[in-house]
Structure 1
Amino acid sequence: MTSARPAARPAPARPRPRPAARPAARRRKKRRGRMAGLWAPLLVVVVAVVGLSWDTDTQGVPPVAGRCSVAGSALTLTNEQAANAATIAAVARSRGLPARATVIALATAQQESRLRNLDYGDRDSLGLFQQRPSQGWGTEAQVQDPVYATGKFLDGLVEVPGWETGDLTLVADAVQRSAFPLAYRQWTEMAETLAGALQSEAPAALSCTFSPPDAAGPVDDRAAAVAEAVRGEAGPPTVAAGGVITVADAAWPEVTWAVAHAQRLQLSQVRFADWTWTPDIGWQQNTGQDAGALVLQLST
């Protein structure tokens, strides 16, 4: 469909000749020119500094209730993004892969879906990694299972020659075959920061806050489903009455996984060593108290 061409604009009036600039005016113009030249690189520096204060969804949003934050960083995520990122790290960890695998997987999922388990995409692309069932990645249900989708991505990753040290964006694209092969590189710093927190042995590297909804169903009925999720990504659980789940052989990466999934699993408390996490406050250290294991308390 063609559109009508706009009427031609009248030619602008010829400007009147301006008097020659006085020497002082010419000097002021030169100074303004020099200042403009100084401002340009300064603005680049300012933009670069501001660019370090990002989150994975919206630039410059500070940590607030209903979000997750990485200690010592400006990085914040939604609870959904944190849960998906924690699953990616858990699957890579369960395979004994180095931290580099988690970094590449996180950067890829961030570019493909913003770390969301999407039920739509380009053509038949779905899930965290926008994998296409028609291209052999799995069924629609499988590629929307974050554990399965991460596993399939890692299957492809370890087949890329030199993936451990190669350029992140080239390695990621070797798996994804993206129409925008250089787009993954922009998330390198974000992925390294997030992977570091998810794999850290330091206390309270990731904290999430949210307003707990009303518990959906009897706590002991829900505990069985939560225990299965824990078994698959954090270790063998023990379930006790009242919605208490214990993981004896756990370390801080498993604890961080639990906090990242707390909203989804309806957890009201996570305890490990002398630290306690709650959804309204976050982490608190209780000197002299030792949980002795990872203890999860479901909302009642």
Structure 2
Amino acid sequence: MTLLLGPGEVDRAAALLRAGELVAFPTETVYGLGADARNGRAVAAVFEAKGRPHFNPLICHFPDAAAAFEEVLADERARALAERFWPGPLTLVLPRRPGCQIDLLAGAGLDTLAVRVPAHPLALALLRAAAVPVAGPSANRSGQVSPTTAEHVLDGLGGRIAAVLDGGPCAVGVESTVLDLAAGGAALLRPGGVPAEAIEAVIGRVSRPVPLAAAEATRTLRSPGMMLSHYAPSLPVRLEARDVAPDEALLAFGPALPGAGATWQMSEARDLREAAARLFAGLRWLDAEGRRRGLKRIAVMPVPAEGLGAAINDRLERAAAPR
């Protein structure tokens, strides 16, 4: 049985984490699957529950920047970004400190760690109460659509984990931006809740040097969320749809195209924040409803690539990747 815990049961969730159990918890981005990052058995249980490849690192969550920087080496850029965006949807990849307490498996054996401070009040309360760093990938089976409600978590991981701390729907709806500062440069490994333009306003230009396909082929992933076929519903996904057939489900952005067998509206007003918050729920609903109605694929209307649109398109490209 997986317990569904309410907002008043943070201490119970924290006790489960300290005992080496897995607890899903809300963040401002998506629900995370939490484990004590210092406990190798607990971290291994995350990979087992998710069916996640072991070469894909996990993000470690902390209650504040000071706690995060006890485990990694932070330069002036990292501290400036933390001051500007933490708590918030930004993950920094930084070198592990000598004597770092985080289990190596949490970082997939790399000499770096992905760290962040989430903005959700329940997540921060849980991190403070647990008093341990928490490894927390998205709380879904690996490669499937990320969860933005407690019900989504139970759909995918019910019976596989100890508990879900229910904090309601996630506000941002796509995962954190991941920025690699470990090698001296600044490389955007995954677009997300903090737009690249906002990061560049603080530290200057960032680059994306490793194409996803090359990173996966060589298994040199430095970041969570860099698997090419990821966030994938069971129905095939067709991007940049300008029309839609009766045997297709439609993920709409702006006024919906007519004729679809089923439609989920991300944002009729073309609001990227609203679309991001509704993206994963829409993919889940269209996948289930499309299969129920015998539809052949999910058609996706174009989404502009600026700001949060870059993160939305990144997720959609992975959902549409061959698998």
TM-score in terms of structure 1 length = 0.30
TM-score in terms of structure 2 length = 0.29
Determine which structure has more spread, i.e. the larger CA radius of gyration.
Answer: 1
Structure with more strand by fraction: 2
Structure with more helix by fraction: 1
